[in-house]
Structure formats: structure tokens, C-alpha cells
Chains A and B, each alone.
Chain A
């Protein structure tokens, strides 16, 4: 059976990405590294919450914050996992030019490179949520979870984030400086505008529309609803929308941003080729 170029590009890129991500140390340190960072980020929020509410973890705001923060790990991991491959291959390993002349599809290759961080991100999300359920009374009951909604939302969201990562990868191809910051800055901005750790109503009114335009807002809302049901629906931001309406909005925005991302990548890729930026190393 002949393996298609796309599948081969994706599979080999995923394997290469995993080796790059994990082979810098021994498995124990790698596991600690993959877990400690996200758990520390969650612990900052838990302590902030605990101080102000004097340990009242029964409030619906707590699972809102905790789950939002836990699933937000995917945003940074998947988006920057894809876009960072450009920095890694071009600046660090100086192999991007070879990838461009190899018989592979570059966008598929870059998406494949994001798989490793998706895997480590998934482990971090799982451990963060498990810690919340075991030690912090996050009201997650396996029998009450809407598994279908959860799985559909998760898959749709990860695809959407990967395509946003492709958009960032395209931009990264065309810039010589601060390329490493592009993913982090985008993820940081989305953290504020997606209502990840506070309801959007807390934002000043004039800036809220930005949040309503972000697919991550609806993605996080649906993930919370699928896991903790009515607890998540108590917040006024999207209270008037049913799960199916939110899923519809998420799908529409994901398609919109997906098309934009592919178009931006193509434009940036053409510019990078024309300007000779594919093998442009700056040591910046």
C-alpha cells in the first residue's frame, strides 16, 4: 500500500517533533518538566482564589477558573507547537531549507510537528484536572459528563488551535526578530479575551466584543458545560445560548479562522520564498 505524501509528512513530523521535545533529558526529568509547569500555573490561581474566598472551593466560580485554566494549556501547547517548529528548524537546527526541498507538504509537516506538544499538553491537562478533582473538590462526576459533547468539542478545538498555529507559523516565516514571542504573545492575549480564568463580563464593556469573536471563548465554555453542566451555565456571559448554539458558533468561527489561517500561511510562505527567508538565520 502506498502511503500518501500528506500522511507520511504528518507521521514523520510528529515522530521528529516527539524526539526533539523529549530527548534532551532522561524520562524522569522530562515527566517532571511536563507536569510541574502547568501545575504551578494552576496552583497560582488556586492560591489566589483560596486567599480571597478563604478556602470556599464550593463556589461555581472555582471550577470555572480551574477548568478554563486547565484546558487553556492546549492553546499554548498546540498553537506554539506548530509555529515554534519554524523557529526550531530555521534558527536552531538550520534544517528548514532541507524540509522545503524534501518531498513533503510543508503545512502538513508543521502541523505534525505540533503533535508532540499536543501529547505533553494532554498529559498536563489530565494531571491538572485530576489534581483538581482529587484535592480541590472540582465537581466532576464521570457519570454526569456529556462525553459526546466533550469529545466533539475537544477535537474541533484542537483542529482550530492547530490551524491558528499554522497562521502563526506563516507570520513567523516572514519575520526575523521576535519570532519566538509571537506564539507566546498570542496565547497570552487569548488568555485574557477568551474568558479562560474569569467571565468575559469582568472585562471593560468596550473590549468584550474581541472576546465574543474568539473561537476559544466558545470552546472553553463548551468544555466546561460538557464536564460540569449547570455549574458552567450559571455565568451570564453565554447563559442565553444552548449547547448546540454555542457548538454552531464554534464550528463557524473555526471554519472562518481555519480558512484565514491557510490563506495567511500561503501568502507568508510565498513571501518567505521570494525574499529568501527560508534559510534566513539571524542568531537574534
Chain B
């Protein structure tokens, strides 16, 4: 009895609690999801179906081989966008529907840490799926890569992910406020974003201001920069220089995380003041 009580008598607070919350929320994403092998299969198969269809469209059009690589890379990156939509943006809404949101808000840990944990776990777990799509797509269609700068590639990817998941944290709070429209909002934000962000073609092909507007989605600039860095003639298709894209992504990363924190504080305030944010309405 003493051993048990002494074990639980210690309470973490401050940054220790913050870190522990991040790890605790990341755990089910990172470890739990890997236990469900069938999820992995679906998460890889669904983007692969789109990749295969678009590759064959390019083949029917006798497109240069780079475009096949663009499609494979775009297909891999869809995994991150889907993760943002369904496992970040909609997550607090799901939690509300299942009755967990009130527990999250009542618990002594920071909601920001909960969101960061969701983002960290989701990012790492989704990376596995994206790698699987890339390997499978590259193997099936014989895609060749030629990296010009590993440091820049690493920087672009990490900054794009930081900005993207920062955006996901903003959307999590926003979707909670949307109420029962959240599911439809997530559903709506698929094809239009695949179009505007150039998942299957270079963003440079769109009119300048459309491409510039679509750059608010971090994956737009992230994919554009990565295409320039990993395909031999990728620089021809670049919307901006890689350096400029890295700079913009760095600014976005900070801006989105700060905005997410402010929006979350607003949601928590509503939850406490009105007591309705955790109300489940079907």
C-alpha cells in the first residue's frame, strides 16, 4: 500500500508535466497505431490508388519521367495532409463526441502539450506511411532521385512539418468551434487542397497569385522545394528559390504555433466561461 501511495504521491509540474504530457499524447499515435497493422495497410493503400491512377494518366499523356516522380512524392505527402485533417484538425471534435474533451480540459496539464503530443506522434507515425508510399511507388514505377543538398532537404522537410502541424493545431481548435460541420470541413479540404497545393503537378503551373495564395499551406512550398532538391531537373519546375522557401517556412512555423496557442487559450476560455464547448450535439 505504501509503495503504491508513494509512487503516485509525487506530482510533476511545470515543464516536466508539459514534457510528460507531450510524450503521453504522442504514445498512442506512435506506438498504438503501429499495433493496428490493418490501419497501416489502409493508410498506404489509399494514397497508392491515387498515385497509380495519376501515374497512368501521365503515362497515357506520354509525360516526361520527372512527373511520375512528382506524383509519387505528392502521393506520399498526402499522408501528412490526411493526418492533419483527420487526426489533428478533427481530433478535439472526436474527443468531444466521445466525452474525453472535458477530461482533457479539467486535467492539470497544458492543452498545448496535448496538441504538441498529438502533432509529434502523428508526424512520426505518418512519416512511416509516407516512406512506405514512396518506396512502393518508386519501386513500382522506377522513379530515380538525385539529391542536390541533403542539408537543405532536411531543413525543408522539418520546417514544412513544423509549420504544417502548427497549422493542424490551429485547425484543431477551429474545427472544435465549427461543431458538427467539422467532419464535412475535413472532407471538403481534400481535393481542393490537392489541387491548390500541387500534390500531383508543379505548383509553378498555376497562375502566380493562385500559387502564392496556396503557399499558406506549408506543404505547397515544402513540396516545391523538395521537388527542386531531389529530382535532377526539378529546379526547372520551382515556384521560388529553395532558400526563399526555407525562409518562408521558418516564419510560418513560428507564426502558426503561436497562433495555435492563442486560439487554444480562447477555446479553453469559452469552455470554462460558457460550459458548452464540451457539449456533444449530434
Partner of A41, one of B60, B191, B282: B191
Q: Say yes or no: is B49 at the interface (Cβ < 8 Å to chain A).
A: yes
Partner of A198, one of B60, B181, B187, B190: B60
Q: Which residue of A lies closest to B47 (CB)?
A: A188
> Are A51 and B205 CB-contacts (below 8 A) given A44-B200, A185-B49, A192-B53?
yes
Q: Is the CB of B45 within 8 A of A185?
A: yes
Q: Is the CB of A61 within 8 A of B61?
A: yes
Q: Is the CB of A47 within 8 A of B205?
A: yes
Q: On chain B, which size bracket covers the interface?
A: 35 or more
Interface size of A by Cβ–Cβ distance < 8 Å?
39
Q: Is the CB of B184 within 8 A of A25?
A: yes
Partner of A33, one of B57, B180, B188: B188
Partner of A40, one of B58, B98, B184, B194: B194
Q: Is the CB of A36 within 8 A of B42?
A: no
Partner of A197, one of B53, B98, B191, B194: B53
Q: Is the CB of A44 within 8 A of B205?
A: no
Q: Is the CB of A24 within 8 A of B180?
A: yes
Q: Is the interface of B mostly helix, strand, loop or mixed?
A: helix
Q: Is the CB of B50 within 8 A of A188?
A: yes
**Which residues 175-226 of A have a CB within 8 angstroms of B?**
177-178, 181, 184-185, 188-189, 191-192, 196-199, 202-203
**Which residues 148-199 of A have a CB within 8 angstroms of B?**
177-178, 181, 184-185, 188-189, 191-192, 196-199
Q: Is the CB of A181 within 8 A of B195?
A: no
**Which residues 15-56 of A have a CB within 8 angstroms of B?**
24-25, 29, 33, 36-38, 40-41, 43-45, 47-53
Q: Is the CB of A44 within 8 A of B46?
A: no
Q: How far is the CA of A97 from the CA of B166 in the complex (A)?
A: 42
Q: How far is the CA of A45 from the CA of B60 in the complex (A)?
A: 12
Q: Is the CB of A24 within 8 A of B200?
A: no
> Are A178 and B57 CB-contacts (below 8 A) given A37-B188, A51-B205?
no
* A25 surroundings in chain B (CB, below 8 A): 181, 184
* A65 surroundings in chain B (CB, below 8 A): 57, 60
Q: Say yes or no: is A240 at the interface (Cβ < 8 Å to chain B).
A: no
Q: Say yes or no: is A4 at the interface (Cβ < 8 Å to chain B).
A: no
Q: Is the CB of B194 within 8 A of A48?
A: no
Q: Is the CB of A47 within 8 A of B206?
A: yes
Q: Which residue of A lies closest to B183 (CB)?
A: A24
Minimum CB–CB distance from B224 to chain A (whole Å) comes to: 15
Q: Which residue of A lies closest to B179 (CB)?
A: A24
* B63 surroundings in chain A (CB, below 8 A): 51-52
Q: Say yes or no: is A135 at the interface (Cβ < 8 Å to chain B).
A: no
Q: Kindly supply a per-residue 1/0 record for chain B positions 57-87, scoring 1 wherever the CB is within 8 Å of any chain A CB and 0 otherwise.
A: 1111111000100000000000000000000
Q: Say yes or no: is A143 at the interface (Cβ < 8 Å to chain B).
A: no
Q: Say yes or no: is B108 at the interface (Cβ < 8 Å to chain A).
A: no
> Are A40 and B195 CB-contacts (below 8 A) given A47-B205, A48-B201, A192-B52?
yes
Q: How far is the CA of A181 from the CA of B47 in the complex (A)?
A: 12
Q: How far is the CA of A52 from the CA of B68 in the complex (A)?
A: 12
Q: Say yes or no: is A270 at the interface (Cβ < 8 Å to chain B).
A: no
Q: Say yes or no: is A93 at the interface (Cβ < 8 Å to chain B).
A: yes
Q: Is the CB of A192 within 8 A of B56?
A: yes
Q: Is the interface of A mostly helix, strand, loop or mixed?
A: helix
Q: Say yes or no: is A92 at the interface (Cβ < 8 Å to chain B).
A: yes
Minimum CB–CB distance from B40 to chain A (whole Å) comes to: 11
Q: Is the CB of B61 within 8 A of A37?
A: no
Q: Which residue of B lies closest to A283 (CB)?
A: B98
Q: Which residue of B lies closest to A21 (CB)?
A: B184
Minimum CB–CB distance from B187 to chain A (whole Å) comes to: 8
Q: How far is the CA of A44 from the CA of B199 in the complex (A)?
A: 9
* B58 surroundings in chain A (CB, below 8 A): 48, 52
Partner of A37, one of B42, B192, B201, B282: B192
Q: How far is the CA of A38 from the CA of B195 in the complex (A)?
A: 11
> Are A198 and B184 CB-contacts (below 8 A) given A184-B46, A283-B98?
no
Q: Is the CB of B49 within 8 A of A198?
A: no
Minimum CB–CB distance from B34 to chain A (whole Å) comes to: 16
Q: Kindly supply a per-residue 1/0 record for chain B positions 185-227, scoring 1 wherever the CB is within 8 Å of any chain A CB and 0 otherwise.
A: 0011011101100011110011000000000000000000000
* A202 surroundings in chain B (CB, below 8 A): 56, 59-60
Q: Which residue of B lies closest to A201 (CB)?
A: B60
Minimum CB–CB distance from B78 to chain A (whole Å) comes to: 12
Partner of B57, one of A29, A48, A92: A48
A-B contact sample (19 more), CB < 8 A, given A29-B181, A48-B200, A189-B49: A25-B184, A33-B184, A33-B187, A37-B190, A37-B192, A41-B191, A44-B54, A44-B199, A44-B201, A48-B57, A48-B201, A51-B63, A53-B61, A184-B46, A185-B46, A192-B53, A197-B56, A197-B57, A199-B60
> Which 7 pairs show the lowest CB-CB distances between chains A and B?
A188-B49, A40-B191, A198-B60, A52-B61, A40-B192, A52-B63, A40-B195
